[in-house]
Amino acid sequence: MMAPPAIRTILGAEVRGLWNRLVKRGATRLVVLGALLAVAIVVIGGAVFSLGDAAAQFLPMARDAMLAGGFTALSVLMLVVGFPSVIATFFVGRDLLQLVLAPVRPVEIFLARAVLAMTANLLISGILIAGVFGVGVGSDASPVYYALALLLVFVIVMVVTSFQVMVMSLIIRWVPARIARDFAAGVAALVGVGFYLTWNVSLRRSFGASRVPDFSNLAAFAQRTDWLPSAWPGHALSAVIAGDWSSAIVWTLFCLAFGVMLVGAAGILYQRTLLAGLGLFGGGQAVWKRAPARRPKSMASGAGSPARAIARKDWLGYRRDIRRLSRLLPALLFPVGYALTLIRPSRTLNGLWSDVAVAAFISMFVSMALAVPSIPSERRGFQLLRMSPLAMSEIIRVKVALTLPPVLALTMLLTIAMAVVGGVGIAELLQLLVLVIWLVIGFVSVGVSAGAIDPNFEAADDRRAVGLLGTMTSTGGAIAFALLSIGAFALFHLGAAAATGARLGPLPSTPAVAALIAGAGALLAAAAGALVVVLLVVANSRLRAYEGAISST
Amino acid sequence: MAASMNPTAVEARTLVKQYGATRAVDGVSFQVGRGEIFGFLGANGAGKTTTLRMLCGLVSPTSGQALIDGFDIHGQPLEAKSRLGYLDEEPFVHPHLTGREFLEYIADLYRMPRGPERQRRMERLLRLFELADRDGELISAYSHGMRQKIGLASLLIREPSVLLLDEPTNGLDPRSARLVKDLLEELAARGTAVLLSTHILEVAQALCRRIAIIDRGHIVATGTMDELRAQAGSEHASLEDLFLKLTAGPESRELIERLLAPNS
Ligand SMILES: Nc1ncnc2c1ncn2[C@@H]1O[C@H](COP(=O)(O)OP(=O)(O)OP(=O)(O)O)[C@@H](O)[C@H]1O
Ligand SMILES: [Mg+2]
């Protein structure tokens, strides 16, 4: 009897593992996951599709730039977002050690893993396909276009994956092994942030102070990235639309040749470095090397304080776990970029409301980035807290208290900067700041609670440290809290306007009406507060009853 | 340590733990007295770790009660936990802290007074476990045995009156294993109650005054060596013989022969 080929065996085991993980989650989780996925596909996919469709119809000259830019932008996104997963698939994990011990050739491991790694980019390539199809519909493309688009998206995913493997293989050769993985994640994150900021600056110039958008900057930016191989599929597709078959074939051949070359090179490099990578990463996490013992002169007296101990540990952990940092930095930089793009000298009264929206968004983003992982990132060390004579409510309180200062500092700084740039008056700035403080306290509490409601302390990957329920709680809770709070803020404003006798459309401006409106605002604020309290209470009881698998060996 | 007058340091009252369809622990009861070293033996998957985790409050029992110094670990967790030190099969540590920082963290977590005395104790522990010259390294760079040792040190720094240890000598070199044995005897002589699970029968026999053997979630025998022998009805049996007899499975020799038999 012939033994089955190694690739099939490896893939079979992976698929079975995925299946088991899915099925063991239970029926409700599966249904929720499916529903979320369907909604995401319809909403995001539909939006991107219509955007492509509309853009292709109304800007026929920009089709090539759009397609090329779309492929490049999403390749960069895959490069950054998928990097940790790709590294994990190819270089980390005890199951890889098992494969290395077995009489299997590294090429076979590489191919089997490449298929697996593609799943990491499934979501983004789905978005890309939706957009590209939209452009096709908008420009009445022939059926060849769609078939070619699918092929080219597949090629681009393979190219990105191979590129990631190559980068990692090279890094393993040159960078001290212990920090290689963090180094790679950091490089990827920085590339992404750089791209994003450049893009943002172009956007800002394009949609800047003048009323008529000026697309020349945007077009110039797109042109500057034209030569990148990631833009080639876009050229091929736009040539198909234009009916220019010879250039379409040339660009497609370029893409295919480039893909084959990169996959081959990655395969060869991978063979050379697999063992080196594994020997070094197989076990625990990579960390910076430490300078030899520095005796702390801890002659402090008084009782030890658990809160201070947790604060110190978290601080040291953040400093030393470059991977966590490399994930946090982009998360913090994105809202800054966003704020930069949107802040404009305000021309009308609406200025305050756009500032409110931006401030709310920034507070939410920064709070969530820091607060949600604060309890799950304890990892197995959480058991130490559970065994210590600390109540869970105390631990939640400490985590909220520790997350608040940096988030508050950052958001208040951004808010003040925004107000100064936007020429907001001092009274309105004060209102904004009060709102931001209220929002941050709420968001951080919601985030910490969400992390506590569904933590996965055994997750090997930080991104899996919070489960689906936690992610949903954090997003849903934060959005609900934001809506209630901003609603309250708006009602207070309206009430104040009514009290001063301003015209309020159909409403009469009497003190009674003003009081009524303010009362409604207070009610909304109370509801927002109640939401936070409920989440904190649920988090407390979930943590007390927590019993997820403690890694049993 | 404020020891209460209760002579029973650890008490398991018909502990049951159900995982889905399997009963990992099925009505386990025993008591450990102050100053006693109590051994917990059983085959792989017999339920030792689950029992210990129920006793220390990491896992809540399906039914039954766990008392530490008379305090219910679920009813009065703070009182019970402050008296308790638990070492897991795979010690809980923070990989991004150095050995020394980890000890500081634990000491602070249990509100131990800071100051020179605590510092001295830490130095002694680090030296005792031969970690003194590696104390500035991150725990993620520690070997398996070193992690086990820093885990033990993190228990001892706060002088708990009850120690629950899950295979404490697992992965230790002979010298360190000996050190741990001597240490436990010394601690017990000073009144600490020690409950330890182990697969090394020699450790159990040398160290433990009383032993419980657990099989598929049930305690099949408890007592001193002599009492165990009496229960098994064989007067001069070694602990290994007793263990094999009390946790009877299929005869291994026959299975081995079947495995190695040439294909017919
Ligand atoms: N989280 C869990 N979910 C489901 N079953 C579990 C879980 N933890 C333990 N079990 C089951 O409970 C039983 C007892 O496990 P336990 O870890 O207590 O055994 P043990 O005596 O410590 O074994 P070993 O000597 O191998 O450490 C086993 O059958 C195990 O499969
Ligand atoms: Mg065990």
Rounded to an integer, the average pLDDT of A319-327 is: 67
Which of A221-230, A456-465, B37-46, B236-245 is predicted least confidently? A221-230
> Does B213 contact ligand 1 (Cβ within 6 A)?
no
> Does A553 contact ligand 1 (Cβ within 6 A)?
no
Q: Whose Cα sits closest to atom 16 in ligand 1? A: B47
- Which pLDDT score, from 0 to 100, does residue A211 have? 45
Using one digit for the tens of pLDDT, what is the confidence trace for A48-91?
899 888 888 888 888 888 888 888 888 887 877 777 777 777 87
CB atoms < 10 A from the CB of A49, how many?
21
> Could you tell me which residues come within 8 angstroms of residue B64 by beta carbon, excluding any fewer than 6 positions away?
B12, B13, B14, B15, B16, B27, B28, B29, B54
What is the nearest CA distance from B126 to chain A, expressed in angstroms? 13
> A242 burial class (0-12, 13-18, 19+ CB within 10 angstroms)?
middle
Better-scored residue on pLDDT, A22 or A276: A22
> DSSP state, A410?
H
Residues 276-305 of A with CB under 8 A from B: 284-285, 287, 290-294, 296, 298-305
Q: Which fold has domain B3-223?
A: Rossmann fold (3.40.50)
Taking the centre of ligand 1 as the mean of its atom positions, its distance from the CA of residue A552, in whole angstroms, is: 7
Rounded to an integer, the average pLDDT of A294-322 is: 75
Which of B22, B50, B87, B200 to probe ligand 1 with, by most ligand atoms within 8 A of CB?
B50
Nearest atom in ligand 1 to the alpha carbon of residue B89 is: 27
Question: Distance between CA B45 and CA B37 in Å, rounded?
Answer: 23
Rounded to an integer, the average pLDDT of A455-461 is: 78
Question: Distance between CA B146 and CA B99 in Å, rounded?
Answer: 10
Please report, to the nearest 10 degrees, the dihedral formed by the alpha carbons of residues A171, A176, A177, A182 taken in order. -70
Ligand lying nearest the CA atom of residue B15: 1
Contact B81 A387 (CB under 8 A): yes
- Which pLDDT score, from 0 to 100, does residue A341 have? 59
Contact A380 B92 (CB under 8 A): yes
> Does B217 contact ligand 1 (Cβ within 6 A)?
no
Better-scored residue on pLDDT, A528 or A77: A528
Question: Distance between CA B116 and CA A299 in Å, rounded?
Answer: 6
pLDDT at A335 over 80: no
Which of A346-360, A474-488, B12-26 is predicted least confidently? A346-360
> Could you tell me which residues come within 8 angstroms of residue A384 by beta carbon, excluding any fewer than 6 positions away?
B92, B94, B106, B109
Number of H helices and E strands in chain A, helices first, is: 21, 1
Among B36, B29, B74, B39, CA closest to B161: B36
Q: What are phi and psi of A215, to 5 degrees?
A: -85, 0
B23 forms bridges with which residues in the sheet?
B18
Which of A170-179, A283-292, A378-387, A446-455 is predicted least confidently? A283-292
Contact B104 A294 (CB under 8 A): no
Among A36, A54, A21, CA closest to A123: A36
Nearest atom in ligand 1 to the alpha carbon of residue B46 is: 21
CB atoms < 10 A from the CB of A245, how many?
11
Better-scored residue on pLDDT, A220 or B165: B165
Which residues does chain B have within 8 Å of residue A306's beta carbon, measured at their own beta carbons?
Answer: 108-109, 111
- Which pLDDT score, from 0 to 100, does residue B168 have? 93
Which residues does chain A have within 8 Å of residue B57's beta carbon, measured at their own beta carbons?
Answer: 386-387
Using one digit for the tens of pLDDT, what is the confidence trace for A466-481?
888 888 899 999 999 9
Rounded to an integer, the average pLDDT of A176-201 is: 67
Rounded to an integer, the average pLDDT of A106-128 is: 82
- Which pLDDT score, from 0 to 100, does residue A164 have? 85
Query: In chain A, which residue's Cα lies nearest the Cα of B78?
Result: A389
Share of chain A above pLDDT 70, in %: 77
Q: How confident is the model at residue A551 (pLDDT cuts 50, 70, 90)?
A: very low
A328-342, A345-359, A451-465, B155-169 — most confident range? B155-169
pLDDT at A311 over 80: yes
- Nearest by CB to residue B95, choosing from A285, A301, A553, is A285
Q: Which helix (H) or strand (E) holds A177?
A: helix A177-206
A310 forms bridges with which residues in the sheet?
none
Question: Is the separation of the CB atoms in A338 and A361 below 8 Å?
Answer: yes
Better-scored residue on pLDDT, B238 or A217: B238
Question: Distance between CA B88 and CA A553 in Å, rounded?
Answer: 11
Share of chain B above pLDDT 90, in %: 62
pLDDT at A286 over 60: no
Question: Distance between CA A398 and CA A311 in Å, rounded?
Answer: 8
> Does B17 contact ligand 1 (Cβ within 6 A)?
no
Q: How confident is the model at residue A351 (pLDDT cuts 50, 70, 90)?
A: low
User: Kind of pairing, strands B162-166 and B193-197?
Assistant: parallel
Which of A383, A546, A551, A552 to probe ligand 1 with, by most ligand atoms within 8 A of CB?
A552
Question: Distance between CA A439 and CA B40 in Å, rounded?
Answer: 53
Which of A493-507, B87-101, B128-142 is predicted least confidently? A493-507
With tokens 């309290």, the residue in question is A533
pLDDT at A349 over 60: no
Question: Is the separation of the CB atoms in A196 and A334 below 8 Å?
Answer: yes
Q: How confident is the model at residue A533 (pLDDT cuts 50, 70, 90)?
A: very high
pLDDT at A212 over 70: no
Q: So where are chain B's domains?
A: 3-223, 236-264
Rounded to an integer, the average pLDDT of A436-440 is: 95
Among B110, B165, A380, CA closest to B149: B165
> DSSP state, A41?
I
Query: In chain A, which residue's Cα lies nearest the Cα of B73?
Result: A387
> Could you tell me which residues come within 8 angstroms of residue A37 by beta carbon, excluding any fewer than 6 positions away?
none
- Which pLDDT score, from 0 to 100, does residue A6 have? 76
> Could you tell me which residues come within 8 angstroms of residue B150 by beta carbon, excluding any fewer than 6 positions away?
B91, B93, B99, B102, B103, B129, B131, B139, B142
Any CB–CB contact under 8 A between A545 and chain B? Answer: yes
> Does A24 contact ligand 1 (Cβ within 6 A)?
no
pLDDT at A361 over 70: yes
- Please state, rounded to an integer, the average pLDDT across all residues of chain A: 80
- Which pLDDT score, from 0 to 100, does residue A451 have? 93
pLDDT at A220 over 80: no
pLDDT at A275 over 70: no
- Nearest by CB to residue B119, choosing from A298, A313, A387, is A298
Using one digit for the tens of pLDDT, what is the confidence trace for B51-83?
999 999 888 899 999 999 999 998 888 899 999
What is the nearest CA distance from A306 to chain B, expressed in angstroms? 4
Which residues does chain A have within 8 Å of residue B100's beta carbon, measured at their own beta carbons?
Answer: 293, 296
Interface test mutation site (partner B, options A313, A462, A541, max chain B beta carbons within 10 A) = A313
Contact B140 A285 (CB under 8 A): yes
CB atoms < 10 A from the CB of A279, how many?
12
CB atoms < 10 A from the CB of A12, how many?
12
Better-scored residue on pLDDT, B102 or B249: B102
Q: How confident is the model at residue A150 (pLDDT cuts 50, 70, 90)?
A: very high
A250-254, A513-517, B3-7 — most confident range? A250-254
Query: In chain A, which residue's Cα lies nearest the Cα of B160?
Result: A388
Which residues does chain A have within 8 Å of residue B101's beta carbon, measured at their own beta carbons?
Answer: 312-313, 316
Which residues does chain A have within 8 Å of residue B114's beta carbon, measured at their own beta carbons?
Answer: 298, 300-304
Which residues does chain A have within 8 Å of residue B95's beta carbon, measured at their own beta carbons?
Answer: 284-285, 287
pLDDT at A330 over 70: no
- Which pLDDT score, from 0 to 100, does residue A504 have? 66
Nearest atom in ligand 1 to the alpha carbon of residue B199 is: 25
Q: Whose Cα sits closest to atom 30 in ligand 1? A: B45
- Which pLDDT score, from 0 to 100, does residue B195 have? 96
pLDDT at A187 over 80: no
Give alpha helix (H) positions in A423-510: 426-453, 468-499
A109-113, A165-169, A401-405 — most confident range? A401-405
Contact B77 A389 (CB under 8 A): yes
B86 forms bridges with which residues in the sheet?
B164
A338 forms bridges with which residues in the sheet?
none
pLDDT at A284 over 60: no
